Structure 1
Amino acid sequence: MPSRRDLVALAAAGLALTAYPASAGAAENETLDELVRRVTDGAAPAETGVTLDIPALVENGNSVDVRIAVDSPMTEAEHVRWIHLIADRNPFPDMARIHLSPRAGLAEVATTLRLAQSQTVAAVVAHSDGRYAIAKAPVVVTLSACIDGG
């Protein structure tokens, strides 16, 4: 018969396993195109109007600077609703969603990412009129980040 200590240890191990995000393992099977289709609700984004400025070669995947600029007047009638960053080979490929409004003035953002390995990074943009746009850039990473899955 197991002791109380053994039962507590088994319960703790069971809780630890259920706390592991299922999306991390499932995301490995999705391609970049499938991830983009999920974000755009199946619509095919145009490959114009978005500039994704990211280095083609980075020494350390823990800190990768990226800048996204979208050609948009940012008026009430026509503006960028959000920009979604995707890296399909990261443990969590949906890296960021930045919401914008006409009050932003410019559809331009800059941030720092972590990349698990060499891969293609995509910036998907949703416009207020329902259109989607995308920019992709391949990045070679010499020292990977996200090795522990977080």
Structure 2
Amino acid sequence: MSSAISPRSARSDAGIDRRSLMAGTAAGLLAAGLPLPAVADTPPELAQLIARVTEGAVPERARITLDIPALAENGNAVDTRIRVDSPMTQANHVRWIHLIAEKNPFPDMARFHLGPRAGRADVSTTLRIAQSQKVAAVAALSDGRFLLAEADIVVTLSACIDGG
């Protein structure tokens, strides 16, 4: 029986990399019940979901716009648009955009994979929102950094009541 060595396990033990340090710090803060620095005004459950998506890295609140209505009469169809200010070149582009709604039965609502050939980091979709809550958009950049935008939405007629 042969065992494969993953890139993580093949890493030198001489030092710790930035991602591991950030993941450990985020996990420690969450375990202690403390908010993450960049998501201090974010509900704890949402902050935990964001930390999972970013593998513990602290996202920047810059260069990303989440357009979602502040009031939705019907949570079954909420038009949403996410834009990231990026040159979308081979050296500097958005890898993916992830949408999270912590109070939905399935909080990971969507992930859009992009690359330099996309031309621009601009996606639109229609979401089902279970109830009034904060929605977050997280963008992963080609240099390993993450961007974050959040928006509060009030839903008068909830969707996802049956858990689906």
Q: What range is the shorter-chain TM-score in?
A: 0.7 to 0.9
Find out whether 1:58 has 2:72 as its counterpart.
Answer: yes
When the two structures are superposed, what TM-score results if normalisation uses the length of structure 2?
A: 0.73
Find out whether 1:115 has 2:129 as its counterpart.
Answer: yes
**3-state SS of 1:33 partner:** helix
**3-state SS of 2:62 partner:** coil
What is the distance in 2 between the residues matched to 1:50 and 1:31?
22
Query: Which of 95, 111, 115 is the equivalent residue of 1:97?
Result: 111
The number of aligned residues is: 121
Match of 1:22 in 2: none
Equivalences for residues 2-21 of structure 1 within 5 A: none
Shift of 1:136: 0.0
Q: Pick the structure with greater CA Rg.
A: 1
What is the distance in 2 between the residues matched to 1:101 and 1:81?
6
1:110-139 per-residue CA deviation (whole Å, 9 max, x = no partner) reads: 000000000000000000000000000000
**3-state SS of 2:52 partner:** helix
Match of 1:44 in 2: 58
Shift of 1:69: 0.3
Q: Give, as a single letter, the amino acid of the residue that structure 2 aligns with 1:108.
A: D
Shift of 1:143: 0.1
Q: Give, as a single letter, the amino acid of the residue that structure 2 aligns with 1:75.
A: T
Q: Give, as a single letter, the amino acid of the residue that structure 2 aligns with 1:32.
A: L
Find out whether 1:145 has 2:159 as its counterpart.
Answer: yes
Shift of 1:88: 0.1
**3-state SS of 1:31 partner:** helix
Match of 2:84 in 1: 70
Q: RMSD over aligned Cα, in angstroms?
A: 0.7
Q: Give, as a single letter, the amino acid of the residue that structure 1 aligns with 2:50.
A: V
What is the distance in 1 between the residues matched to 2:106 and 2:123?
21
Instruction: Tell me which stretches of 4 or more aligned residues in structure 1 moved more than 4 Å.
Output: none
Question: Identical aligned pairs, as a percentage?
Answer: 70
Q: Give, as a single letter, the amino acid of the residue that structure 2 aligns with 1:127.
A: L
When the two structures are superposed, what TM-score results if normalisation uses the length of structure 1?
A: 0.80
